[in-house]
Amino acid sequence: MTPLPLWRRVRQYLAVDARLALLVGLLVAAGLGTLYSAALDFPGRFELQLRNVLIAMALMWTVANVPPPTLMRYAAPVYGAGVALLLAVFLFGISRKGSQRWIWIGFEFQPSEMMKIAMPLMLAWLFHQFGAMKRAHVFAVAAVLLVLPVGLIIKQPDLGTGLLVLAAGVYVVLLAGLSWKALAAMVAAGLAAIPLAWPLLHDYQRNRVLTMLNPEADPLGKGFQIKQAGIAIGSGGVAGKGWLEGTQGHLGFVPERSTDFIFSVFAEEFGLAGNLALLVLYALLIVRGLQIAADAPTVFARLLAGAITLIFFTYAFINLGMVSGIVPVVGVPLPFFSYGGTALMTLGIGCGILMSIRRASLAAM
């Protein structure tokens, strides 16, 4: 047997896909630079984010060393534990700002974040194990497995995370071969359900939709955040005002400027040129993830890699859309960019899974 070249042996040992790691590293570096500027009025936040980044990268490397068959073996237990923790949130969860989303397990933990990984793991396992059975039955089971945790998350209430978990599951179902007729029926049913779902939304959720449609209706109240974010984005011009030179963020006009609305700070300081560069990085990240999915050696690995990659796309699309005012504000962070702990660690685990699958693909060649 011909020995592997040195660079391939080193890469297998490190379990890191160089292109994926480079793209993530660039996004994290840009995010840290922007956060430093956005969080000047929040002492210690930048240092906390550095800690979060180190933990997320450690998780990424750890998961990258776990073979896909091992991930598949633990898919059902991880999903079951996630649902159990979501149920526990209703019994003795921690409430904050009108939402009950956290549970104390030695530290504050948000089980809904866990489901962003557990959901595609579980459904990918389901279609890998039972894909040869009657398709309608498997899709019906998948629907039940999807609806249960999504309903629990939305009830907390946490619409943004619920939509991401829903998207993660739907992506697996679509990649598993859902027919176009069934997809069209689902879309039609979803559109028809909008009038029925509207009364079920909380007041603040309805207000966010109405504010998106007409932010000028209450520019100093409910529409203030979206309006000021739009001003920040527009004031950056082509080249931006320069790092640390933004005014909308530093003067406090943009709320949540280090978390959900951090893109407005970046856009003001780096302008259209910086925005395009950031979009290119996200596009390359998604393309790389889809390449890994296409080369995956098993059905489980292919469905899991594809779903995780599309989750990254959904994160970026929703965040950039809500900051730009084209989708309602739902509290979704910009991936690898916004300040946050649990969400960043979830993203790191997702990248680790992609690297694990890529490693398995190279070993199968």
Burial bucket for residue 285 (CB in 10 Å: 0-12, 13-18, 19+): buried
- Residue 299's SS3 state is helix
pLDDT of amino acid 225? 74
Tell which wins on pLDDT, 298 or 208.
298
Q: Cα 271 vs. chain centroid, distance in angstroms?
A: 24
Q: What is the pLDDT of residues 137-157, one digit of tens each?
A: 888 889 899 999 998 898 888
Tell which wins on pLDDT, 93 or 83.
83
Question: In the predicted model, what is the mean pLDDT of the chain?
Answer: 84
Q: What percent of the chain has pLDDT over 70?
A: 85
Residue 293: which residues within 8 A CB-CB, separation 6 or more?
301, 302, 305, 306, 309, 357
Per mean pLDDT, which range of 21-35, 122-136, 194-208 is the poorest?
194-208
pLDDT of amino acid 44? 86
- Cα–Cα distance for residue pair 256/65, rounded to 1 Å: 36
- Cα–Cα distance for residue pair 338/125, rounded to 1 Å: 31
Look at residue 4 and tell me whether its pLDDT is greater than 60. no
Look at residue 341 and tell me whether its pLDDT is greater than 90. no
pLDDT of amino acid 246? 81
φ/ψ region of 240 (left if φ > 0, alpha if ψ in -120 to 50, else beta) reads left
Per mean pLDDT, which range of 151-160, 168-177, 196-205, 303-312 is the poorest?
196-205
Burial annotation 250-268 (CB, 10 A radius, 16+ → b, else e): beebbebbbbbbbbbbbbb
Closest to 282 (Cα-Cα) out of 247, 317, 250: 317
Look at residue 351 and tell me whether its pLDDT is greater than 70. yes
Look at residue 1 and tell me whether its pLDDT is greater than 60. no
Q: What is the pLDDT of residues 194-248, one digit of tens each?
A: 676 666 666 666 666 666 655 665 555 666 777 888 888 888 888 889 888 888 8
Q: What is the pLDDT of residues 50-80, one digit of tens each?
A: 999 999 999 999 999 999 999 999 999 999 9
Per mean pLDDT, which range of 108-117, 134-143, 168-177, 271-280 is the poorest?
134-143
- Cα–Cα distance for residue pair 288/262, rounded to 1 Å: 25
